[in-house]
Amino acid sequence: MEYDFRKIEKQWQDIWNRDHAYRVSNDSPRPKYYVLDMFPYPSGAGLHVGHPLGYIASDIYARFKRLKGFNVLHPMGYDAFGLPAEQYAIEHGIHPAVSTQQNIENFRNQLNNIGFCFDWDREVRTCEPSYYKWTQWIFLQLFKSWYNRAAKRAESIETLVDIFKNQGSHSVAPQRKNLVFSAQEWNAFDHATREGILMDYRLAYCGFGEVNWCEALGTVLANDEVVNGVSERGGHPVVKKKLRQWYLRITEYADRLLEGLEQVDFSDAMKEMQTNWIGKSYGAEIDFSIKSEKGEVDSMRVYTTRPDTIFGVDFMVVAPELDWIEAIASAGQFEEVSRYIGYVRSRSERERQAEKKISGCFTGAYAINPFNGREIPIWISEYVLAGYGTGAIMGVPCGDERDFRFASHFHIPVTNIIGDFFNGEQANPTKDARLTNSDFLNGVVMRDAISIVNGKLEEMGIGTPKVNYRMRDAAFSRQRYWGEPFPIAWRQGVAYPLEEKELPLLLPEVDTYSPGPEGEGPLANIPQWVERELETNTMPGYAGSSWYFLRYMDPHNETAFCDRKVSDYWNQVDLYIGGTEHAVGHLLYSRMWTKVLFDLGYIGFEEPFKKLVNQGMIQGSSRFVYRAQLSAGGTDIKWDNIFVSAGIRERFEKGDLSPEQLFSRINLLVHGDSAPAGLPPGAEILLHPLHVDVNIVDGFQLDTKAFSKWKPEYANALFLLEQDGIYLCGSEVEKMSKSKFNTVNPDELVGKYGADTFRMYEMFLGPVEQSKPWDTKGIEGVHRFLRKLWRLFYDEQKGQVWTLDKAGAPEWKVIYRTIRKMEEDTERFSFNTGVSALMIGVNELSDLKCHKKEVLEKLLVILAPYAPHIAEELWHLLGNSGSILDAAYPAVEEIYLVESAKNYPIAINGKTRAEMNIALDATQLQVEAMVLENETVKKWLDGKAPKKIIYVKNKMVNVVI
RNA sequence: GCCCGGAUGGCGGAAUUGGUAGACGCGCCAGACUCAAAAUCUGGUUAUCGCAAGGUAGUGCAGGUUCAAUUCCUGUUCCGGGCACCA
């Protein structure tokens, strides 16, 4: 009886499906465990082998937990709104709902192929009205709430209105500069004014923000649609444009997002990334008065974390886009300033920060140092961003490397305020120096000077200590079609929320997916929509994905996003597996939404994910063919389809093969014997690497026949082959993507080797957290392992070989050692070593010729999370009736694993030279005596006495000479 | 540029707490079975010197701590991920 994986896998998938084997109840006496995968976007390209890595890991863990007696929730769904579907709609006129539906079906089939234990009854799709109804509903909660800083929590906006009504704004931190009013004043404000003020407090609010505006395309572009300042499609210029935008006031949650990190089990790297993203810093805002020709602007505000360096300020740098720059520019500098502002407008933030070339421009105005009246030139430069702090910094070249380079570049004299700590060549950011050239601060250690300066500034009324965050409020609107409509109507410039009973506000059909007027979204093209004065923006991709883990708990609820009783049962996600690319986006947004819903009493926990495991990326291993071409050096010889093998190319590039030799070999290939010889003068042979589909390459060897059929233009391809008559490809490790032809489709591998082999091989590749290149070659080893395992039960010739014989100690020892290793490794997500442990176990049982049911059935249970189909099949063939999905994880009988002695490595000066079998309970003295008797040790000692003998129980012995 | 990771045989990787570097698998080499091939099985496989016994070097690179370093510390190079409208 053969291992017929195709039949077995089909059969068991059908049975599990029929029996609803993966259905999960919200009501169970067993402890709950919630395993979550990151929400996939159903792309048209379908799955490649990189996608399922995390899903397989979580699937194994979910199955493992089920065997351990937990009620396990392991759902799957789709983050189905998004730009690619909309782009596809623009290009092909197909409604995004239609293409998305197709993509989802394709995805689902691919996922099912791999045999995941998803409870499909709980599937969610963010683009379904039944789902986005609740995204809109949560948005309304955000809109109707404010963050009460005193209570450190979100509250209904009504509580704020009450405060304003009764006490005015004094007790509430002002959101807008200089906006302070009394209760009487509030009550006298007209409706629009009040709404304008409340808008400054709402957790979801409207403001103005810059977008990438492409005039030629008449649309707003995503960052990755902009390359080097022009649109990716068409290469049109892109500039910044201010548009009305929705935002989420995530900055109010900055501190709680930081504190929450202490309660969750994320990697230190992940916590660090989030901490840095939030970027909390303690500093001061200082107002400097300005001296300019026109005198229109009297002061500027800078944010600094180092007020102690106030006497070392040699220049100011202001973000060029701040609106008061042109007002302070002197007549002589005005033109240059305008030109520089124009230049910066064309630059993305990323480019500005990454730019190595120092650029900037003097404004012609000066700031006055409040302590000594010194005139400080005000510059503008792209390295200062408007969005951080006040958009203006103090340039302290002796203490900051970037400031120092700026000063050197523009020949601005440097004031040394740190004495010997500054060498004139390099800035020194120390806080330990005693200040010099610093007036009343001379001799004070910098660290201590900070509070002295802050005190003085406050006394003078020109500065306040200030906590600052690098994180900005999250832009929450897109000028797009394929997203959730905002449940907001605008009347006379005031935003009104729709009634709850009006939800969902359905996304209307449109005739065209092209943008609306003035950079508005496509919804602005619909007269009925505009008539109803509905918001024309839609929500961004992360709207639906910020709360989906809650919907899985109670996916069909029509009266709430999730029943409180149900979320109380499932509570936090116990294990979340996903890539680090979501470190600061999705993970922060969903943590914020969870905190808001917690504050408002809709759920009972404020951190969504208890534990996070980051999966690495599977990279593609690209293959290249090399097309030969003659440069235009005065020749009319055209080679269209000559491909040179990688080995020949290598010799050519290294110079081992001359251009003439290569030319004549190619000529021979093209023309046969009657080849005209000689490279035309001035001509050069170029070998262009071209990506070739990895699926027609075996290792590095190209299937030349398949290549000729691959694309019509290669039909007549000629190949310059290696000596042994094969064509070798070049290779490189790159991101896996369709355009690089390096994607490998899991369906094909599943078809060829089965889902069980595929699952185990993905895990066997290496640690789940680590990125690694895909290589299909090794999959056969895993497949061989499963067949070897099968042979413990059934033999092709002999049929059944398993027996009911009683097992002996050596067999028990092997199986219990395997169980223990497997359990430990699975528990710590070390799935690759888990697979190895199984292989070792099967190798050892084969060596022992162990075919005993009582041993083998334990093996099947620990195998089941990794390779569920074969495990279930053999489980039943052994005569078990229930499903192995619900078997109990076998317990280890320690008695079989007790050892009395160990082979110790005996090292001389730390280098292993011998091995000795020593009893585990041996004492230091016994060991020393034994070791000194050892021949190898004697040889190395050469008659001398050892300096020391180190004996670490159960580890090693080291003889120091 | 800034933040976070990673680097070990021909390849993927193992070494869980500082204690036998290279488990397991691929590939390769040799052998068995076979008319032959496939499949399967057995043995070998870091480099280098040596007939062997055995020695020497070795975990990106340069240093350091230690009886002992892939593991800890300092510096450095290269590669990957993210940087706010891809999801």
Per-residue HEC secondary structure of A184-238 comes to HHHHHCCHHHHHHHHHCCECEEEEEEEEEEECCCCEEECHHHEECCEECCCCCEC
Rounded CA separation A805/A849 (Å): 12
Structure confidence by residue, pLDDT tens digits, A398-438: 988 889 989 999 999 999 999 888 888 888 888 888 999 99
A767 Cβ contact list (under 8 Å, min separation 6) = A616, A830, A832
Does the pLDDT at position A934 exceed 90? no
- pLDDT beyond 90 at A174: no
A792 touches strand B (CB under 7 A): no
Protein-nucleic contacts, chain A 901-920 to strand B, CB < 7 Å: 903, 905, 907, 909-913, 915
SS3 state of residue A579:
strand
Span A324-329, average pLDDT: 91
Residue type for position A896: Y
Query: Between the CA of A913 and the C1' of B49, what is the distance in angstroms?
Result: 19
* CATH number of the domain where residue A786 is located: 1.10.730.10
- Tell me which DSSP letter residue A773 carries: E
More confident call, A337 vs A943:
A337
How confident is the model at residue A632, as a pLDDT? 63
Contact A536, A519 (CB under 8 A): no
Beta strands in A222-356 (DSSP E): 226-227, 230-231, 239-248, 280-291, 299-304, 315-318
| Spatial distance from the CA of A909 to the C1' of B54 (Å) | 18
| Same domain (yes/no): A772, A882 | yes
Same domain, yes or no, for A392 and A301? yes
Residue A176 has pLDDT above 70, yes or no: no
pLDDT-based confidence at A580, cuts 50/70/90? confident
Check if residue A426 sits with its Cβ under 7 angstroms from strand B.
Answer: no
**Is-contact A770 A762, C-beta < 8 A?**
no
On whether residue A925 sits in a domain, the answer given is yes
User: How many Å does it take to go from CA A576 to C1' B6?
Assistant: 22
pLDDT tens by residue, A337-393: 999 998 888 888 888 888 888 899 999 999 999 999 999 999 999 999 888 888 999
Cis peptide bond prior to A40, omega within 30° of 0 = no
Which nucleotide has the shortest C1'-to-CA distance from A957?
A: B19
With CA atoms as reference, report the closest residue to A710 among A699, A700, A698, A697: A697
Residue A776: per-residue pLDDT:
86
Q: How far apart, in whole angstroms, are the C-alpha atoms of residue A164 and residue A159?
A: 9
Name the residue among A589, A594, A583 with its Cα closest to residue A542.
Answer: A589
- In the sheet that A911-919 helps form, which strands lie side by side, from edge to edge? A911-919, A901-908, A956-960, A948-952
Clarify whether residues A655 and A714 are in a common domain: yes
Domain endpoint, select from A468, A500, A529: A468
pLDDT of A697 reads 82
Spacing of A907 CA from B21 C1' in Å: 14
Q: Please give residues of chain A from 282 to 341 whose alpha-adjacent beta carbon (CB) lies under 7 Å from any atom of strand B.
A: none
pLDDT given at position A932: 87
A796 and A889 share a domain? yes
| Arithmetic mean of pLDDT, A457-471 | 91
In three-state form (DSSP H/G/I as H, E/B as E, the rest C), the secondary structure along A867-927 is CHHHHHHHHHHCCCCCCHHHCCCCCCCHHHHCCCEEEEEEEECCEEEEEEEEECCCCHHHH
Tell me which residues from 761 to 790 on chain A have a beta carbon below 7 angstroms from nucleic acid strand B. Answer: 764-767, 770-773, 775, 777-778, 780-782, 784-785, 787-788
Residue A128 lies in a domain: no
Q: For A53 and B80, how far is CA from C1' in angstroms? A: 17
pLDDT band at A192 (very low <50, low <70, confident <90, very high): very high
Predicted confidence band of residue A674 (pLDDT cuts 50, 70, 90): low
pLDDT for res A32: 97
Position A884 confidence tier, pLDDT thresholds 50, 70, 90: very high
- Nucleotide with minimal C1' distance from the CA of A955 is B19
Instruction: Name the nucleotide with the smallest C1'–CA separation from A479.
Output: B85
pLDDT for res A280: 92
The answer to whether strand B lies under 7 Å from the CB of residue A540 is yes
Domain that holds residue A934: 899-960
* pLDDT digits 0-9 by tens, A594-612: 999 999 999 999 999 999 9
What pLDDT score was predicted for residue A633? 62
Residue A698 has pLDDT above 80, yes or no: no
In chain A, positions 87-106 with C-beta closer than 7 Å to nucleic chain B are: none
Residue A715: per-residue pLDDT: 87
On whether the CB atoms of residues A703 and A710 are closer than 8 A, the answer is no
Are A339 and A366 in the same domain?
Answer: yes
Where does residue A634 fall: left (phi above 0), alpha (psi -120 to 50 degrees), or beta otherwise?
left
Domain boundary residue among A734, A758, A788?
A: A734
Within a domain: A452: yes
Q: If pLDDT is split at 50, 70 and 90, which confidence band does A104 have?
A: very high
Using DSSP, state whether A115 is helix, strand or coil. coil
Looking at residue A71, its amino acid is N
Question: Are A322 and A394 members of one domain?
Answer: yes
Q: Domain holding A452: CATH number?
A: 3.90.740.10
Q: Which pLDDT belongs to residue A497?
A: 96
Q: Which residue is nearest to nucleotide B39 (CA to C1')?
A: A784
Q: Are residues A712 and A810 in the same domain?
A: no
pLDDT band at A95 (very low <50, low <70, confident <90, very high): very high
Q: Which nucleotide is nearest to A79 (CA to C1')?
A: B87
pLDDT at A857 over 90: yes
Distance measured from the CA of protein residue A114 to the C1' of nucleotide B38, in angstroms: 28
- Collapsing DSSP to helix, strand or coil, A447 comes out as helix
- Minimum CA–C1' distance nucleotide for A275: B3
| A549 inside domain | no
Supply the pLDDT for residue A489: 95
pLDDT at A624 over 70: yes
Compute the distance between CA of residue A819 and CA of residue A839 in angstroms, rounded to an integer: 12
Rounded distance in angstroms from the CA atom of residue A617 to the C1' atom of nucleotide B79: 14
A392 and A437 housed in the same domain: yes
Residue A81 CA, nucleotide B83 C1', distance (Å)? 23
**pLDDT in the model for residue A425:** 82
Question: What does DSSP say about strands A618-630 and A642-644: parallel, antiparallel, or unpaired?
Answer: antiparallel
At A737, list the tokens. 């993507």
Q: Poorest-confidence range of A195-204, A356-365, A649-658?
A: A649-658
Q: How far is the CA of A735 from the C1' of B7 (A)?
A: 18
**Mean pLDDT to the nearest integer, A828-845:** 94
Helix/strand/coil for A310: helix
**Which of A669, A704, A734 represents a domain boundary (last residue)?**
A734
Residue A778 CA and nucleotide B30 C1' are separated, in Å, by 22
The verdict on residue A938 lying in a domain is: yes
Looking at the structure, tell me whether residues A289 and A404 fall in a common domain.
yes
| A888 and A903 belong to one structural domain | no
The spacing between the Cα labelled CA in A957 and the C1' in B29, in angstroms, equals: 37
Question: Could you give the count of Cα atoms lying within 13 Å of A692 in the half-sphere of its Cβ?
Answer: 31
Residue type, A242: K
Pair A709, A806 in one domain? no
In a domain, A752, yes or no: yes
Assess whether pLDDT exceeds 80 at residue A173: no
CA of A849 to C1' of B33 (A): 20
Helices A96-113 and A83-92 cross at an angle (nearest 10°) of: 120
Which of A 201-230 have CB under 7 A of nucleic chain B?
211-212, 220-225
CA–CA distances in Å: residue A854 to residues A309, A594, A805: 76, 48, 8
Residue A224 domain-assigned (yes or no): no
Nearest-CA residue relative to C1' of B82: A581
CA–CA distance, A223 with A416 (Å, rounded to integer): 41
| Domain at A943, CATH number | 3.10.20.590
Residue A601 covered by a domain = no
Cis peptide before A75 (omega within 30 of 0): no
Choice between A356 and A495, residue whose per-residue pLDDT is larger: A495
In tens, the pLDDT along A542-568 reads 999 999 999 999 999 999 999 999 999
Kindly determine whether the C-beta of residue A585 is less than 7 Å away from any atom of nucleic acid strand B: yes
Q: How confident is the model at residue A1 (pLDDT cuts 50, 70, 90)?
A: confident
Give the pLDDT of residue A677: 63
Distance A105 CA to B5 C1' (A): 35
Mean pLDDT value of segment A118-145: 96
Q: Which residue, A725, A726, A692, is CA-closest to A709?
A: A692
Q: What is the pLDDT of residue A154?
A: 96
Counting the structural domains of chain A, the total is 4
Q: How far is the CA of A957 from the C1' of B48 (A)?
A: 28
A836 sits within 7 Å of strand B by its CB: yes
What ipTM, to 2 d.p.? 0.94
What integer pLDDT is reported at residue A294 of this predicted model? 87
- Smallest CA–C1' separation from A387, nucleotide: B84
Give strand B nucleotides closer than 7 A to any protein Cβ. Answer: 1-6, 11-16, 19-21, 23-27, 39-42, 55-56, 67-69, 79-87
Res. A165: pLDDT tops 90: yes
Distance A34 CA to B29 C1' (A): 50
CA of A773 to C1' of B9 (A): 18
Q: Is the CB of A276 under 7 A from strand B?
A: yes
Q: Is the CB of A385 under 7 A from strand B?
A: no
The pLDDT of residue A41:
93
Same domain, A695 and A635: yes
Question: Residue A636 has what pLDDT?
Answer: 64
A144 or A742, greater pLDDT? A144
Q: For residue A318, give the nearest of A393, A370, A420 by alpha carbon.
A: A393
Rounded distance, CA A265 to CA A55, Å? 20
Q: Give the mean pLDDT of chain A.
A: 90
Which helix (H) or strand (E) segment is A861 a member of?
helix A853-863
**Residue A202 tokens, joined:** 């709402």
DSSP string, A400-436: -HHHHHHHHHTTPPPP--SGGG--SSS----S-SBP-
The one-letter code for the residue type at A865 is P
